[in-house]
Structure 1
Amino acid sequence: METNWIIISDLILRGMAIGAIVATALVLISHSRSRGTSSVAALGVCTVCYLLISAPTIMPIALQPVLVAGATLLPLALTWMATVQLTDDASQRRPVLVLALLTVVTAALIPFWPAMTPIRGILAIALYLGLIILALATDSDDLVIDRRRFRRGFLVAMGALGLIVSVVEASGLDANLPNWIYPLQASAILVLALLFAIWALEPVADEPIKRTVSKSRADLTERVEQVMRRGIWQREGLTIGAFAEELGVPEHQLRATINGEMGHRNFSTFINVARIKAAKELMNDPSRGRTTILEIAHEVGFASLGPFNKAFRAQTGSSPREYRNRD
């Protein structure tokens, strides 16, 4: 009797989670929201497949191959959606996307090559750890408020759940789970689905709202520009916290100003625009022809050549050396 009650509870919770996922996806698609709709739809489909195939009840045989395929693709779908939302930097997306692809490929090989099971488990654990680290590591540089809320809530929680499930599967503990685990798992996914819906369905105006910039915000914008002209960007390891301290304003106000009034989504990109502009001027100066690229990198605020090369290529499409040697 108790087992029947647990199974019924589990089915209700999974049905609610599927309903929340489908409703969210339909609203996003119908309103053409611009927050990575394709990746969200893929994640929704794969999550629904996982909810159905991982239920304690047996699914119809005809549906099982489709559900297994969708569930297998879940790590890749989650990673695709997460990287779209977390960062605009392709080099930050690439490592976790490669891990996700390897996780999916090894999972697909398990029916034909059972020895891949522990490898898939290790890759999945590394993937979800990587997503959590990416969400946390890029948080301080992000100036977009809703994206910061998203990484702190949904993505860290989803990564933690994926990590727990992967550890259980890799250790073989999933072979004989007690029945109460299933509704617990379904409850966790339902909470995540609701968290995502709250974030994704936040009202967005069809057109940008015309608003008058407050005098205090305009004053802060001018102060930011003044400090930039004085060369604060030349400081190695400059953080938004140090910038806010220099201005004597709360960090959240500075984030809102640089993002909302000056149009930058990442603090490092905002600073690097000034640094790369100065670097190009130095390279174009005939009197600085003997100055090495490393010396220029240090002069404009980079601690080493690697980050300088990366930032320079991101803004100009060429390496510093290619830029200097151009015709």
Structure 2
Amino acid sequence: MNQLDVALRATGVGLLLLIGLVLVLSTPRRATALWFVPFALGVAGFLAVNAIGLASELPDPAWSVASLLSRLATVFVWWFCLALFDGDFRPRAVELAGGGVWLVLVAIDKAYFFPAPSGIDLSAVLIALGVAMMGHVGWRLMQDFRGDLIESRRRARPVFVGLLAAFLLLDFGIDLLMGYGWRPPGFLLLQNGVIVLLTVGLGAWLLTADTLVVAGPESPRRTPAVAKPDPDAPLLARLDALMIGERPYLDPDLTMSRFAARLGVPEAVLRRLINHRLGFGHFRNFLNVYRVEEARRRLRAGPAAPDKMISIAFDSGFASLASFNRAFRQIVGQSPTGFRDGAAAPDRLVRSD
């Protein structure tokens, strides 16, 4: 059994590192590699130390490095799962705070910098925090389910959530019920085998999926029609008329279903049009282009305008100032404040003459 376990774990580590290398060398998938590499290192570290009988073939300092990576794996898995379905993902307040708390608790529990407090077992707290992180992944993935315009990625969301939930029941659930130190050989073998199988499936998907699914931040573009006359021309015209005339994007709670109803088309037709013809991977990003343009119009009045930045954000259709700043920077390439100051600069120069 020990030899099977070693072979299984070595296979998993090798696959993770190989997939990471291929992603790094693949230009269209390099953005995915940014989040996959730490994920792969964390899971590889876990496989390296998750040996039967607590015996590792690794000498120090390799054992210490693998052990540290394994304890960071939960945070890396959390961030990678979020980035996998959101090309614009960057760790924000929730992800940074959760990761920071995890690091502090691990440092205390493992006595990295000072002796661990006697009589305090943080294992249950770490398990609960890990479950919360994975629960956050599931919530985020399903929250954006209807707005995801890439059909293959949209269909993968519930499958991914289901697999994640199943693995949680196997890992965190058993730790909680049987204790963190419960490590029978059969369970460790099963645990490592499941990780290897999931790695094979994930790698196959990442390396064979369309680059639009896993390529990271999108670059919207209007794709020219192949057929003439263009069968989508009437619908594109209706879409433009709706966005310009009625400005539905000013509603921060606008959903795909409500927007499709206003346009008078099925959701599937609208999703294909915005994705295939306009180049957007998510409904939110499509709306944000119009919202940012509305904000730019308001900001061109310059710093003398009475509107506060938060008012401009809400009046342009954004639900929060943070989402406004983030979308504005992504689309325009500078902050709203910088744009306002720059828009007013020529006028100030003219007045100074």
TM-score of the pair, normalised by structure 2: 0.71
CA distance in structure 1 between the aligned counterparts of 2:83 and 2:196, rounded to whole angstroms: 22
The residue that corresponds to 2:241 in the other structure is 226
How far 1:9 sits from its partner (Å)?
Answer: 4.8
Query: Does the alignment pair 1:132 with 2:148?
Result: no
CA distance in structure 2 between the aligned counterparts of 1:134 and 1:284, rounded to whole angstroms: 35
1:20 corresponds, among 15, 38, 57, to 15
The one-letter amino acid of 2:327's match is A
Structure 2 residue runs without a partner (length 5+): 212-218, 346-353
Q: Is the 8 A contact 2:35 2:80 kept in 1?
A: yes
How far 1:291 sits from its partner (Å)?
Answer: 8.6
Query: Does the alignment pair 1:59 with 2:65?
Result: no
Number of matched pairs: 313
The residue that corresponds to 1:269 in the other structure is 285
Partner SS for 1:193? helix
The residue that corresponds to 2:41 in the other structure is 45
Partner SS for 2:237? helix
Superposed, 1:1-327 pairs within 5 Å as 4=1, 7=2, 9-32=4-27, 33-57=29-53, 58-60=55-57, 62=59, 63-87=62-86, 93-112=92-111, 113=116, 115=120, 116-149=122-155, 151-154=157-160, 157-158=163-164, 161-162=167-168, 164-170=170-176, 173-202=179-208, 212-214=225-227, 215-231=230-246, 232-235=248-251, 237-278=253-294, 281=297, 307=320, 310-311=323-324, 314-315=327-328
How far 1:201 sits from its partner (Å)?
Answer: 0.5
How far 1:95 sits from its partner (Å)?
Answer: 0.9
- 163-172 or 178-187: which moved more? 163-172
How far 1:299 sits from its partner (Å)?
Answer: 6.3
How far 1:315 sits from its partner (Å)?
Answer: 1.8
CA distance in structure 2 between the aligned counterparts of 1:147 and 1:197, rounded to whole angstroms: 15
How far 1:93 sits from its partner (Å)?
Answer: 4.0
How far 1:85 sits from its partner (Å)?
Answer: 2.7
Structure 1 residue runs without a partner (length 5+): none
The one-letter amino acid of 1:253's match is V
Identify if the C-alpha distance between structure 1 residues 299 and 64 changes in structure 2 by more than 3 Å, giving closer, same or farther.
Answer: closer
Q: CA RMSD in A?
A: 3.9
TM-score of the pair, normalised by structure 1: 0.76
CA distance in structure 1 between the aligned counterparts of 2:25 and 2:281, rounded to whole angstroms: 27
Post-superposition CA distance 1:71-127 (Å, at most 9, x none): 112123223323333335667743124312321332233122263434333322222
